[in-house]
Structure 1
Amino acid sequence: MHILVISHDLSIFQHLHPNYDGEGKFSVKSSFPKAGTYKIFADFLPEGSAQQLAKYDLIVEGEEHYETVNSDKELIKHVDDLIFELKFDDLAVKQHVLMTFTVTDSKRNKITNLEPYLGSAGHVVIVSEKMDEFLHVHPKDEAAKGPDVEYMTTFPISGNIKFGDNLNILESFIRFHL
């Protein structure tokens, strides 16, 4: 199960993996860094069934401070000593799109020892600006070790997109306009 907690202004994005407590119950701890409205997505696959998505709205009380979240000028994120670069073969709506994350260290040495996280080299979550479109994508090669991890998807609509990728323990967030 994947739990996504996203603020309505797209400035907060949490990709969580709850613990299975038995008897069909899961638990997860999270904190909300600011007041406001959040959308919670529960993405899960019941045994013997198709993948399902449940959506919930949550209001965190307090004085709201909405941020204007602009598109990133470069699709590169630096986290600790690692650099994550996102590239697309052709960015178009309602077309198959190949997305590639390339992982290097701060000296631009290629990282080739990525370990699977929840059975996969990575998990990508893509959310539209209005949070009415949600995609959860796994790599083409679940056993990819890097430096490239490729994903194939189709964007159903154009607009501002919030993109979160979970490669091992990294959460990188990229915003772009499609």
Structure 2
Amino acid sequence: MNSEASDSRVSYIRNSVTKIADYPKPGIIFRDITSTLADVRALTYVLDIFSERYQRSGITQIAGIEARGFIFAAALADRLQTGVTLIRKPGKLPRAVHQQSYSLEYGEDTLELHRDALGATDKVLLIDDLLATGGTMQAAAKLVSQCGATISEAAFLIELSGLQGRQRIAQAGVSTYAICEYD
């Protein structure tokens, strides 16, 4: 569990996440964060917790993963006075890219990052909304490493701990932080 587990803000955030049974398929409980994003208090708490954790970390860039990771990356970068780097699905970045394929819960996908987006002097926070199996973040970490940058940590609003994503990301040498954890 995260270090803020007893924090009343985390309880509020957890209560703001909508749980949808049997979506996208039977047996799955989908954690919908659109309700969290719509709740100004919950969103403020999310950004406060992330800001407190990373304000003295020396991060120079926050890399958001398409698409909900962009929301947190941009808002947090504003608070921490860093740049934002976008990690996108194929065909959406106009310059030369690094490309990394990965497996996810329901198939395979690919991520891309501009080859010149990051450099050896960058210390990068990777951020996304949800950690499930870790495949997406593991691919993102490989892309950032290909640019020569250092990864500070991988951060998430939600971790589905039963899917062992944290362990998979650790195999890539990246530590993980999540505000809310669910089985």
Query: Would you tell me which structure has more helix in proportion to its own residues?
Result: 2
Bigger strand fraction: 1
| Larger Cα-atom Rg | 1
